[in-house]
A and B are shown apart, each in its own frame.
Chain A
Amino acid sequence: MGMKQYIIRRLIYSFFILAAVSVLVFAMVRLLPGDPIRAAMQQNVDLTDDKIVQEVRARYGLDKPIHVQYVIWLTDFFQGDWGISLSSGEPVLHMFLRRLPVTLELFVGATLWAWIIGIPMGVLSALRRNSWLDASFTTVSVLGVSIPSFWEAILFIYLFAVILKILPPSGYVAFFDNPVQNLQSVLMPTFVMGTHAAGSFARYIRSSILEVLNQDYIRTARAKGLREKAVLIKHAAKPAMTPIVTIVGMSWAHLLSGSFIIEFMFAIPGLGRMGLDAVFARDFPVIQATLIVGALNVLLMNLAVDIAYGFLDPRIRITK
């Protein structure tokens, strides 16, 4: 199968998964208990007046049959009409776009930390297998994948903000308002978010390199007298890359979950905070948007990983 055909197949597959996701999200949000309209309008509308309730219901399209609601919601969504937040009255797309750069900054920062820490750790422990360096890196990476972000965040806040007082305990300053303060405010959150990914990078990279180094073609390369460096760079690097691409993609996809906790702890006005507030306020247009965006984020990353795989390992194009 050619590369083009392979990409088209993956695209069609992703499209169907996205369709299934949209049905699931729609159904899940309808499961939320309580009448969202009543909950949202409690403060400013006389709810004993059924006529008003009916009117509001009609305005949000809640009086129509459920499958019609689904079609309307989906068409609107892809036309950029994500509905109006029940708690703030703002268009959801506006809220989303305003908060997106904040969360993206956290994502990029966390990914950088993960790369800077995780990749060298994984490579070094594979190359110095069974040394004290390997043992200590392996321990550190197990810790990295096991430590819950909220506890790590508390330890850092206590150390750097309460005891040493060199970093702000929480809050967020936009980059264009004050670049220095911006970097200070994201230093701890991005590090904490990146820890888990760093740990899993190190673990995957280590085992992936070790697996490749056990292959027959590496033995052949060594047997024909190649220097170790040439063996590693020319023969081992590319095949070892393939599984690493997966873990890089997977960790990006899971950053959004992390942002729910981290943005809450550090009082950062990003997408995670928006989603969390929406859950508690039963603000279902925002919940729907968050779920779809979260799923889309994972889906696109999976697609990118699949395509990268197709380039790196031609065998995949046939078997999948």
Chain B
Amino acid sequence: MSESEKPALATTESLETRRISQVGMKALVRTLLKHKLSRLGLTCICLLILMAIFAPVLAPYHPNDQDLYNVLKGPSKEHWLGTDNVGRDLLSRILYGARVSMTVATFATLGAIMIGAFFGLLAGFKGGVIDSIIMRTTDTFMVFPGLIFILMMAAALGPGMKNVVIAIILFGWTGAARIIRGQVLAVREEPYVEAAKASGASEWRIMFKYVLPNSIAPMIVVTALAMGAAVGMEAGAAFLGIGVQPPTPSWGRELRTGYSYLERVPLFSIAPGALITLAILSFTLVGDGLRDALDPRIRGEGKKIK
């Protein structure tokens, strides 16, 4: 399902095995923009980020202002999307909801990728026992179904946005670690690494100065896909009642409350859900575009056809 149950970072597992060619940032952006669907995705992501930043300017009401004389009203001139069960303006709550969603996705993804990159680098570069221990640990983590793992962790850690971020990081680092490791295995055999070794550079310096920067290219694909997965997981957890607590507006929670009033005010649950879907979809499209841009085989083919 979801999405929510998206195999998170594991969806990009195929990246593990193939070495992606190094592409300049400029060329990457150019190819990405040529791709119609990823251009659309990128535009939507920018809009969502602007929405999160400028929510206080854009929102017609304060998201927690209640108007108990106007509860569960459909769309009107005063309230474009209608009101919720305690008379709060739905549009304002949805605009503010972008903040939780984007913040959680950004921090969870960055955290997972930083931790994953560190362990993946260590495993791939050091090899041997360290590699085995790290890889068997990722195997163990990956055996747990995503949403269930996050739900249990978030329940163990207690409510709050920070704990959802930690839960998603704990689940997501493994995928990043495996992909980086695959790249490192190829990069560490490169002549420049050997040259660095010969010139007496320390191991850590070689790892972070030479191996890591040259192994990082596929992470950009992973980042995009993981952002989408994180939005889905945050929303799923919030929908099930874990994570950000009321009255902070969050799409997953709005949807949950709105679900109880589906017959009276369908927009109450349908509108926040549409935003969640839009966010996940946009990240998936950008991830797909980046993957195609980085995959030398697909890149070559595109030229032949057009």
Report A's interface with B, CB cutoff 8 A: 16-17, 20-21, 24, 28, 31-33, 130, 139, 142-143, 145-151, 154-155, 157-158, 162, 192-193, 195-196, 200, 211, 214, 243, 250, 253-258, 260-262, 264-265, 275-276, 279-280, 282, 287, 290-291, 294-295, 297-299, 302
Contacts and interface: CB of A to CB of B under 8 A. Distances in A.
A162 B155 CA distance: 33
A151 B144 contact: no
A241 to B, nearest CB: 16
A-B interface, 9 closest residue pairs, ranked by CB to CB distance from nearest: A151-B273, A257-B5, A258-B1, A149-B1, A257-B147, A146-B281, A257-B145, A20-B140, A31-B156
Contact of A17 (B136, B157, B242, B280): B136
Interface string B175-205: 0000000000000000000000000000000
B148 A143 contact: no
Contacts of B153: 28
Contacts of A282: 155
Interface string B246-277: 00000000010001001100100110011011
Contact of A146 (B140, B228, B273): B228
B10 A150 contact: no
Contacts of B35: none
A185 B136 CA distance: 41
A154 B269 contact: yes
Interface string B134-150: 00110111111111100
Contact of B156 (A32, A142, A243): A32
A264 B240 contact: yes
B148 A261 contact: no
26 contacts: A17-B140, A24-B140, A28-B152, A32-B155, A142-B285, A145-B6, A145-B284, A146-B3, A147-B281, A150-B255, A154-B259, A158-B262, A162-B262, A162-B263, A254-B5, A254-B6, A257-B5, A260-B147, A261-B2, A261-B4, A279-B155, A279-B242, A291-B148, A295-B143, A297-B145, A298-B144
Contacts of B274: 151
Interface residues of B, number: 57
Contacts of B288: 142
A107 B262 CA distance: 27
A158 B271 CA distance: 13
Q: Find the residue from A145, A295, A299 having the highest chain B CB count within 10 A.
A: A145
Contacts of A146: 3, 228, 277, 280-281, 284
Nearest to B151: A279
Contacts of B146: 254, 257
Given A28-B152, A214-B297, A298-B144, A155 B280 contact: no
Interface in B202-250: 228, 232, 235-236, 239-242
Contacts of B148: 256-257, 260, 275, 290-291, 294
Nearest to B295: A207
Contacts of B240: 260-261, 264, 276
A291 B127 CA distance: 31
Contacts of A155: 270, 273
Nearest to B153: A28
A262 B269 contact: no
B305 interface: yes
B292 to A, nearest CB: 10
B270 A265 contact: no
B143 A298 contact: yes
Given A253-B145, A295-B144, A158 B1 contact: no
